Structure 1
Amino acid sequence: MPRRSRSLEPGNYYHLYNRGNNRQNLFFERNNYLYFLKQFRYYVAEETVHVIAYCLMPNHYHILIYLRDDSLSAAMHRFTMSYTNAINRRYQRCGSLFQGRFQTLHVDNDRYLLHLTRYIHLNPVQAGFVEKPEDWEFSSYHEYVGIRRGTLPKLKYISEQISTPAEYRQFMKSSDKSPLHSIQHLLFE
């Protein structure tokens, strides 16, 4: 595959996303979601990024990160190969699982960062899988509102704007969704 045309610079925020090849599922059962997160933590999050928010959907994922060093592309390659190989072995399939390389959007201000967390956490609601974001197990929303004490998402990156679970719940219900128009194209069918 060709190299990424723009460089990813440490010290910046990025929205990572990708979907299944030919829009097929990436996850086939609950354990696949858990394994994906475990492998992402091992290959990518431990050294390369801080995860700010994430949501795993049946055929795609969204991960909002703070980039700590310049090895993201290599780490993501190792991660996606590991996950693909495991899924291919488990389900006796072969070939690509992901639709090419992961995609990135640079997040250039705190307001956009905060609104992007809402977009990510509302993804299963928008897709009609659940009525409320807390009903979707495979997102960091649970950490944001104090339902779960997971260690993958680092909430400190939004704590200057929203400091308590109650404030985040209120933010999720607010009608100010103005920055979301710039990311609507990310909705996967």
Structure 2
Amino acid sequence: MNVRKTIFANGELYHIFNRGIEKHPVFTSKKEYERAVLTLDYYRFKNPSLRLSKTLILNLENREKFYTELRNLSDKLVEIVVYCLMPNHFHFVLKQRLDNGISRFVSNFANSYTRYFNTRHDKRTGALFQGIFKAVHIEDDDQLVHVARYIHINPAVSYVIEKDNLEKYEWSSYPEFLGLSKKEICDKDLVLKLFSSRKSFRKFVADQVDYARRLDKIKHLILE
């Protein structure tokens, strides 16, 4: 029986990772990525006054009003610091705000998205993600910035997107960090305060892509 070794503490940061069962794709279309982003945005809050399905039928103006009120008034299970959705897995950096917040958030996200995915793929039933998600405690600022970079370059290192288009990758927090997105999902300042400017953060991230690609290629050659 798998048992989680990491104990989540309020106020602490953790790198969270999970992938599809047998590494199968879990995000297969733009619509599915969009739904996943809406889902993670919604479930970071403790007790939203509307069900997620109800928020999705609101017009844009009322939906934005709803989320503005949530941000200002609601308790959060977690702060989402960094995220990236990839074809068959996801990464989050989360700061736990309430007891059991990380476990509740990840469970709510995975269960809600799985129901949506299985409904879209009408012959599919059962779990979508692997059992116990992986979690690593982030112990200091140096680890935080390197994890943030690792997560943000993931789409380019895996050739899901070209290096020059990395900041246009819609399904990660990188555009939000660079001020290129209107999304207000992440507590970006926890990372950005460690850099002199957004420009310096961008350079810190972009300069690592080619090196990480080389390492990834070597790793696959060794494994083969």
**Mapped partners of 1:174, 1:84: distance in 2:** 36
In 2, the alpha carbon distance for the partners of 1:134 and 1:9 equals: 32
Structure 1 or 2: larger helix share?
A: 2
1:6 corresponds to which residue? 6
Which residue pairs with 2:117 in the alignment? Answer: 87
TM-aligned CA distance change 1:173 to 1:87, over 3 Å: closer
What is the correspondence of 1:67-82 to structure 2 with a 5 Å cutoff? 67-71=96-100, 72-82=102-112
Which residue does 1:26 correspond to in 2?
26
Deviation at 1:44, TM superposition (A): 2.8
TM-score (norm 1): 0.86
Cα distance in 2 for residues equivalent to 1:100 and 1:59: 14
Task: Return the alpha-carbon distance in structure 2 between the equivalents of residues 123 and 45 of structure 1.
Answer: 27
Q: Does 1:155 align with 2:184?
A: no
TM superposition shift of 1:119: 0.5
- Identity over the aligned pairs, expressed in percent? 34
Structure 1 runs of 4+ aligned residues shifted over 3 Å read 173-177
Q: Tell whether the 8 Å contact from 2:18 to 2:90 is kept in structure 1 after alignment.
A: yes
Bigger shift: residues 114-123 or 34-43: 34-43
Greater radius of gyration (CA): 2
User: Residues 74, 172 of structure 1: CA spacing in aligned structure 2 closer, same or farther, 3 A cutoff?
Assistant: closer
Tell me the C-alpha RMSD between the 2 structures.
2.2
Letter of the 2:19 counterpart: R
Q: Which amino acid aligns with 2:108?
A: R
TM-score (norm 2): 0.73
Amino acid at match of 1:76: V
Per the TM alignment, residue 20 of structure 1 is displaced from its structure 2 partner at its CA by 0.4
Instruction: Please state whether the residue corresponding to 1:158 is helix, strand or coil.
Output: helix
Give 1:2 deviation, angstroms.
4.9
Q: Note the residue ranges of structure 2 that are not aligned, 5 or more in a row.
A: 47-75, 220-224
